[in-house]
Amino acid sequence: MLTLSQNIVILISMMAGSMLFMAALNRIWPREKRQVHNDLIGWQLNIIGTTYAVILGFMLYTVWTDFIAANLNVDLEASALRNVYRLAEGLPEPQRTQLQLQSRSYAQAVIDQDWPEMARDQIPEESHNINQAMWKNLMSVKTASPTEIVAEDHAISELSSLTEHRRTRLIQSNYHLPTIFWGVLLIGGSLTIASASMFGSVNARLHALQVFAFTLLITLVLLAIADVNLPFQGWVHVSNYAFVRAQENMQD
């Protein structure tokens, strides 16, 4: 979990580190002496760069897809909650009033407790307790009219969907890229930048600019992967806006 300020510090550190590495390499192994090895270095850079670009693009696509899925799942959970609230209108008393109050409490618990706790990498419990109470309340309905039977049937279906989407949200909040993948990304990025730095260019300033741009692009993509990797943590995270809107709709 990275904050915006941490992202900026890491970016600046990586840019400075690549430039210092280039300066140190030029002192130890002058670029004039490296020019005779450009064919070999260029071949190495081409293979490593192409392989790393494929890996980097795949990782970014994977975490972004997971982030979109987490966002969609939250929308579906909030939609199911609104449906439960509306369907409660067709239930008899006292279950009608209780289920509507529980629906509002669920939305409030998700906004006030679930999101802050997931941001701290904790498992929220309050919404789970309310969800359990909603099930007990709905199962205690003694239906009499056909309308109440239909309302209860649909309410059970929507509550099942709500429970499923909540469980999925908790799983998504704990998911992250395995450490081995981060090792591949970091080592691959280091090798790619080092290979680009070893190229024996005649124009030292242009070479430094190219390595600078190369490092900037790789670092930005790695930071994007790190930020999106944890969909409910950090400064880039799934919003609770869907539940805020659901809460507003349930005030009618």
pLDDT for 84 beyond 70:
yes
Pair of tokens at residue 141? 């309905």
Q: Is the peptide bond before 94 cis (omega within 30 degrees of 0)?
A: yes
pLDDT at 71: 96
Q: What is the average pLDDT value for the chain, to the nearest integer?
A: 91
Q: Which pTM does this prediction carry?
A: 0.87
pLDDT for 194 beyond 70:
yes
Polymer length of the chain: 252
| Residues 137 and 52: beta-carbon distance below 8 Å | no
Rounded-to-integer distance, Cα 48 and Cα 117, Å: 41
**With bands split at pLDDT 50, 70 and 90, how would you rate the model's confidence at 252?**
low
Pair of tokens at residue 229? 């990797």
Residue ranges per domain, the chain? 4-249
pLDDT for 175 beyond 70:
yes
- Quick count: other Cβ atoms within 10 Å of Cβ 208? 17
**With bands split at pLDDT 50, 70 and 90, how would you rate the model's confidence at 11?**
very high
| Residues 74 and 238: beta-carbon distance below 8 Å | yes
Average pLDDT (134-152) is: 87
Burial class from Cβ neighbours inside 10 Å (0-12, 13-18, 19+) for residue 185 reads buried
pLDDT at 31: 77
| Residues 4 and 179: beta-carbon distance below 8 Å | no
% of the chain beyond a pLDDT of 90: 67
**With bands split at pLDDT 50, 70 and 90, how would you rate the model's confidence at 224?**
very high
Q: Where are the alpha helices (DSSP H) in 175-240?
A: 179-198, 204-229
Rounded-to-integer distance, Cα 73 and Cα 26, Å: 52
pLDDT for 229 beyond 80:
yes
Amino acid, res. 70? A
pLDDT at 29: 86
**With bands split at pLDDT 50, 70 and 90, how would you rate the model's confidence at 43?**
confident
Could you give the C-alpha distances from 32 to 3, 19, 185, 201, in angstroms and in order? 42, 18, 31, 8
pLDDT for 244 beyond 70:
yes
pLDDT at 1: 66
* 92: DSSP letter: P
pLDDT at 223: 94
- CA nearest to 245, candidates 63, 45, 81, 56: 81
